[in-house]
Each structure stands twice: as structure tokens, then as C-alpha cells.
Copies of this chain bind each other. A is one copy, B any other.
Amino acid sequence: MSPPSHTTTAALDAEFERYLRSLFEEQIVFNRLLSLKMLEAGPDWFRAGLPMRPDLIGNFVHDRLHGGVISALLDVVAGMACICALGSRHPDKPLEQRMKHFDRLGTIDLRVDYLRPAVSEHFEAKGRVVRLGSRVANTQMEFLSASGQLLATGAAAYIVS
């Protein structure tokens, strides 16, 4: 598993990374309901993992993951990528200030394209910021099977001011 293509690979500082993990795995309580785990993050991207569970099935005929879980996961990795990008814009600022972005971030809209049936033991979602403006951030997302097959793609716009 690898970072999203077209991304910078510079590392985040350890303190900011701890904050991202706590935000993603603890504070956003809905993520706990899905057992989401942060895998890795960079200056404008975020990767998360989702273990398959029987109670996440949407199509019981084929044991497929519920489409709503896919859209939820794509939304959160794109939002986290925005937080990475906003927090990396001024890396010298104290963490306290770089943490304030979460509060003001809002999803404007989200599009998900479902490419293939989502059947796998675990899944991975990647979000990256395509453009960070002063008011709007544009993101793109990928949803992958354990073997790396592309199952869904997405795009979302966020208000960041």
C-alpha cells in the first residue's frame, strides 16, 4: 500500500501526526463505530484502513460492503487531507493553532463513483487535496480492496475559511 499518486512525500512532524490520529480514531466518534484506522498521512494526503465486518454488509446476496460506508470513508479521508494541508501551510505555528482548522472545515459536496463490487477482507481509502484555495479546497479520493484494486473514486469540495 502506498501514498496517493501525485503527492508530496515529506513527513509531517510527530506532534501533528499524533493529533491527526487522535482526531481520526478517537474524537470523530462515528469513525470508531466503523473501526477506522489512520494508516499514513502527508502534507496534503491521508490514508485510512477499514476492516470488513458482517454488520457493514449492504448487499447480503453478494456480501458486499454497504455503499454508504464507502461514501462515509471517502468523505472522512478527504476531510482529513484538508486538515493535513491546512496544518502544513504554516508548519511553524503552534499545534494549537493548526488544530483549529477542523472546527471550521465544512463539506460543500461529495461525489462518489462506484466502479466495482466492494468485496474484500479489508479496505483502504486515500484522500488528497488537488487544490487548496483561500476559501475552497478540492479533493480527490480512491477506495481500494486489500489487493489494491480500485473499487470506487470520489471528489469533494470543502469550505476552509
Q: Which residues of A contact B (CB under 8 A)?
A: 5-6, 27-30, 32-33, 54-62, 66-69, 71-73, 75-76, 79, 102-103, 106-116, 130-131, 135-136, 138, 140, 150, 153, 155, 157, 159, 161
- Cα A23 to Cα B32 with chains together (Å): 26
Task: Please give the count of copies of this chain that the complex contains.
Answer: 4
A72 touches B66 (CB 8 A): yes
Q: Which of B55, B113, B136, B155 is in CB contact (< 8 Å) with A30? A: B55
* Least CB distance, A144 to chain B, in whole angstroms: 13
B61 touches A33 (CB 8 A): no
B157 touches A108 (CB 8 A): yes
B135 touches A153 (CB 8 A): no
